[in-house]
Structures are given as C-alpha cells and as structure tokens.
Amino acid sequence: MTAQTAPRWNLTNVYPSLSSKEYNADCEKVKSFISDMESLMEKAAAFSGQEDASTLGALAQEMIACYNAILLVGGTIRAYIESFVSTDSYNQEALRKESEFDLVAVKINQLETQLLGWIGKVKERLPEMIQSVPVLEEHRYFLEESARQSRYLMSEAEEMLAAELSLSGSNAWTKLQGMLTSQASVEIEVDGELKRLPSPALINLRSHPDGETRKRGYEAEDKLWTSLKVPLSAALNSIKGEVNVLNRRRGREDAVHSAIDAAHIDRQSLEAMLGAMRDSFPMFRRYFKAKAKYLGKEKLPWWDLFAPVGEVKSDYSFIEAREVILRNFGRFAPQLEAFARNAFEHNWIDAEQRDGKRGGAFCMEVPGVGESRILSNFDGSFDQVSTLAHELGHGFHNDCAVKAGKTEIQKFTPMTLAETASIMCETIVTSALLEEVTNPQQELAILESQLNGDSQVIVDIYSRYLFEKEVFENREKTELNADEICEIMENAQKATYGDGLDERYLQKWMWTWKPHYYSGGLSFYNFPYAFGHLFATGLYAIYQQRGAEFVPDYIHLLASTGEAPAADLAARFGIDIRTRKFWEDSLRVSEKRVERYCELVS
C-alpha cells in the first residue's frame, strides 16, 4: 500500500447503506424517542416546580434517559451521513439524507433548549432532587452546568424559532462553504507534470520538498480563493452576523463569552494562557528566523513556513505510517496500541486524497457501535504521520469513555479537553522518533516537525483568535467584504508572527478554507487547540516523571472529561490553569526545542 492507495473507511457495520431497512428503522426510532421526550417536556411544563423532590427527581431521570437515547441513535445517524458527505460532496443521496436529518436535528436542539430551561426553573431544588433520586448523581455535572447556562436563554418561543431558522441561515452557509472548498480544484505543475489537484492536495503542497513547487502552490491558492471570495465572504458574514444577534439576545457579554462557557473554563484561565502565549512570540520568531537562514532566505515567506528541514522520510507508505504509530503507542501503553491496531485492522480511517473530499482531518464518534472514524488526507509526509497519530488520539479518548460505560451526556467533552489525547499521541510519536535519531540532520527534521506544530497552535492559533474576535466586533457595525476580511487576517498574522515572517508574503486567505470559522453553534474554534497542546505538554512531563503508573490516571481523566470543569480535572494532577506558571512551564518545552534547533542550523 502506498500514499496513493491510502485506505477508505468502512461503516457497513453501522448500516448496510443509506437506503437500508436498518438505517430507516433507526430514523423512525429517533423520531419515536423525540416524541417521548416531547411528552415528558409537556409533563414538565405542567409542573409548578414546587412538587416534592422525589417527583421532580424522577421526572428529571426520565428526561435524561430519553435524551441519552436520542443522542445515541441520532448521533449514530449523523455520523453515518457525515461519512458520505465529508468524503464525497457530489453524493446526492447523502446530501438529501443530510437535509432530511437536519429537520430532525432541529427538533433535538429545541428539546435540548427546553430541557435546559426546565432545569433552570428547578435549579434551586437540584440538591434535594439528587438526594431523593440518587441515580441523578451520575449526571450531577450536566444538571448543574445546565442550570448555570439556562440564564443565557431567550424565551422558549424565540429559541424554537432560532433553531428552525438556522436551517436556512448558518447551517446553509456552513454547507455552502464545505461544498465550495471540497469541490474546488486547480491545475498546477508538480514534479514536472501538470496536474489538477483538489484543494486539500493543493494545501498540502505547503510541505513539498521543492521550494518552487511550494511557491507555485501559494500562487495557485491565491488565484483559487480569489475566484471564490464572494460566496465565502457572504457565508462568513452571514454566520457571524447570526451569532452576534443571538449572543446579544441571550445576554452574552461578547462573542468570546459563549466560547469560554462551551470550553468549560473561565476568563481568568483563558487570559492566563493567552498572556503566556503572547510572551512566547519572540521565542518562536527566533525559530522562524533560524529556519529562513537555513533555507537561504532573509525572511521566511509563507510558502516556506511548512518547508521540510533536515533529513526526514517524506514518502511513507500508509503501512509504514501505521507501523511507526503502533510501535510508539505500544511504548506508552498497551491499551493505546491495542486501540490503534483495531482501528487500522477494521478500516476506521479514510486517508485517501480525492476530489469531493473535505480538507484537513477529524475524528468522529459513531456511538451506536462504540467506535470512531478518522478522516485525513494522507500524502506520505512525516506531518501526515503526525496527523494520523493526532486523530487516533481523539479516537482513543472516545474509546476510554466507551469502556468506562459513560452515557452520551457524560461523554460530551469540551474542545479544550478534547484536544488533550490527540496532542498527547502526537507527542508520543515525535518524542520517540527524536530519541531514535542517528545524525544531526535527522534530529533537525524532527525538531522542525515539533516546532512547526508548536508554532501553529501557539502563534497561528493566536492570530486566528485575534482575527475571529475582530471579525465579530466589526460585523456588529457592518458587513465586511472579502478584501476587508483579508486585511484583518493579515493584520492578525503581523501581530503574532511579527518580524519572524516576510510581511509581503503572508496568507490572507486562511479564512476561506478553514471550516472552523463557519459554525453557527461553535465560535472561536481556535484557543482550545492551544489549551489542549499546552495541557497535554504538561501531562506528558508528568508521564516522564511517573512512567507507567501515570497511565491509569490518564485513562481515567480521558473517561471523565465530560463530568467536571477543566480546572477541576487539571487539579487532579496538581495543575492550576488559572495562573500563568503552568502555561509558561509548558512553553519552556518549546523554548528548549528552539535553542537546540538554532544550534543545529547555525
């Protein structure tokens, strides 16, 4: 098997097909559960809230059980549809099924809002209810967090209307962005041959070993995204405009407010982390300048930001990538290796690059079968080996919760903690390979991979945070045209990369193909990556001290990420995320890498 024949995933154990009787039966089943939940909500609406605690507790438990059933079946259907849509945006049957299920999803969202509202109504009675119905203890965090968030609801009628309108609003714009970027392609000369590349493969040229090819890729991206800037800027404006209106109506302080709550952290923790990140920019700029010097440049243009440095294998077959991952996962924990081996052997991974497939990579849970599926765009590079390790980390996280018998509600994990296992798995692989190097050029290549990743989740993520914050603020005043959006992106990159890059050649089009900006339900899909990276770095340092005895505690942490705030979970390991010291200590790992990198290239 080669990079060109990387595998496609298999979901036939979920349903035989989108038109199968099994799929249709589950569609009817989830509708039945929704009907049951609607009846429970009608019953709840008739309650005054002054009923005895055991009566209220019993009703709460019924609703939680029903909601878990909806999430289990509905989540399975959604993941199955996504497996087709994300890998083939030309698939009309899948697109039709997605549209049909969107109507069901709206009802689920509406019921979630009603449940949240009811919990808020009885929030003062929750301690009595849990005492009277002890089984509610299993979902205490969900109940208490729902009570806290209930204060940011509009009236029930307004919330119901907002959910329905999202189908023709943010949800529709999200689909448009995905459709346009997954089907976009361009002709470009690569390795002496004129090829038509889909946008994910074009973006992957950023790490091509030939500098002229990287530059041509940069120029081709400019032409491609210029041709799509009008519909993509319309999508971004519409989504951010909708979110602004809803945040204002719900009483949110600003656009960041809901993102912080969704991340299960507080502003103090966010500001402590961001402050440490800002202070690290000069250190990362030393790395960028050292890389420019190595490449014979005065300053680093964007197309050289991901250029390979040193001697690293760049033509991994998928089988070779698999063996590298399994070998090093096994050194960390047999449970991690066993999970990854099962994922490889049962075709849980879709790694082939092809037209109609979305760019980037992700891992999705398929709850009905207790499994995950991983999408990547494997091109044989070392970076893509790291990406596979990253996404398998997400899958292992899901697996820990499944093996612990967690419910769908308990399994919900905020992005801040969702990135922990993935970054840990990347670190396991790259750190192990670094220990195996036999010459300075191999060491340099692995350090380059580590520092490139570090800089992306610290420097670039901060630029994305600044970009999205300014877009939200400006969108409150007016609609932004594509050129204005590009200017905001370039300014954000100048503020973070500084003199580390050639400011004549930044990447103003970063906002076009990143799906992170195009979600009506999840804003600031950026700083949680930095949180996950630095938190995992801190945990890896603890693992290095404690060795194998760390693993059971770590697995327990992964199984519990939906059941406590991030600060409480971090405290289990003696970590205080509200102070800058932890974040600064984690960033010192990158500082040591930069120092060694500069020594090797001098």
Neighbours of 210 (CB within 10 A): 14
Distance CA(332)–CA(244), nearest Å, equals 44
pLDDT of residue 82: 97
Q: Which residues pair with 350 in a beta bridge?
A: 375
Distance CA(297)–CA(294), nearest Å, equals 8
pLDDT of residue 2: 43
pLDDT digits (tens, 9 = 90+) for 141-191: 999 999 999 999 999 999 999 999 999 999 999 999 999 998 999 999 999
For CA atoms 554, 556, 557, 561, give the dihedral sign.
positive
Is the pLDDT at 370 greater than 50, yes or no?
A: yes
pLDDT of residue 23: 98
Q: Which residues pair with 455 in a beta bridge?
A: none
Is the pLDDT at 595 greater than 50, yes or no?
A: yes
pLDDT digits (tens, 9 = 90+) for 286-301: 999 999 999 999 999 9
% residues pLDDT > 70 (the chain)? 99
Amino acid symbol at 290: A
Q: Which residues pair with 371 in a beta bridge?
A: 366
Amino acid symbol at 205: L
> Which residues have C-beta within 8 Å of that of residue 585, sequence separation ≥ 6?
538, 541
Instruction: Report pTM.
Output: 0.88
Q: Which residues pair with 349 in a beta bridge?
A: 374
Neighbours of 35 (CB within 10 A): 12
pLDDT digits (tens, 9 = 90+) for 188-200: 999 999 999 999 8
Give the pLDDT band of residue 228 (cuts 50, 70, 90): very high
Neighbours of 484 (CB within 10 A): 14
Distance CA(438)–CA(345), nearest Å, equals 31
pLDDT digits (tens, 9 = 90+) for 542-592: 999 999 999 999 999 999 999 999 999 999 999 999 999 999 999 999 999
Give the pLDDT band of residue 433 (cuts 50, 70, 90): confident
| Residues present in the chain in total | 602
The full DSSP string for 46-110 is H--S-S-HHHHHHHHHHHHHHHHHHHHHHHHHHHHHHHHHTT-TT-HHHHHHHHHHHHHHHHHHH
pLDDT of residue 358: 87
The full DSSP string for 426-468 is HHHHHHHHHHT--SHHHHHHHHHHHHHHHHIIIIIHHHHHHHH
Mean pLDDT (whole number) for 514-534: 94
Distance CA(414)–CA(410), nearest Å, equals 11
Is the pLDDT at 312 greater than 80, yes or no?
A: no
Beta-strand (E) ranges in 244-370? Answer: 349-350, 362-366
Task: Say which range, 10-24, 101-115, 423-437, has the weakest mean pLDDT.
Answer: 423-437
Is the pLDDT at 452 greater than 50, yes or no?
A: yes
The radius of gyration of the chain from alpha carbons, rounded to an integer in Å, stands at 24
pLDDT of residue 1: 38
pLDDT of residue 311: 86
Distance CA(278)–CA(276), nearest Å, equals 6
Task: Say which range, 276-280, 347-351, 412-416, 549-553, has the weakest mean pLDDT.
Answer: 412-416
Q: Which residues pair with 278 in a beta bridge?
A: none
Amino acid symbol at 364: M
**Residue 310 · residue 448 · CB < 8 Å:** yes
pLDDT of residue 188: 96
- Is 349 in a helix, a strand, or coil? strand
CA angle 323, 392, 343 (to 5 degrees): 65
Is the pLDDT at 314 greater than 90, yes or no?
A: no
**Residue 26 · residue 73 · CB < 8 Å:** yes
Distance CA(75)–CA(68), nearest Å, equals 10
Amino acid symbol at 14: V
Element (H, E) at 519: none
Amino acid symbol at 576: D
> What's 501's DSSP letter?
B
Give the pLDDT band of residue 3 (cuts 50, 70, 90): very low
Query: What are the counts of helices (DSSP H) followed by strands (DSSP E) for the chain?
Result: 26, 5
pLDDT of residue 535: 94
Element (H, E) at 517: none
Is the pLDDT at 502 greater than 60, yes or no?
A: yes
- Is 396 in a helix, a strand, or coil? helix
Q: Which of 177-191, 307-321, 433-447 shows the highest mean pLDDT?
A: 177-191
Amino acid symbol at 239: I
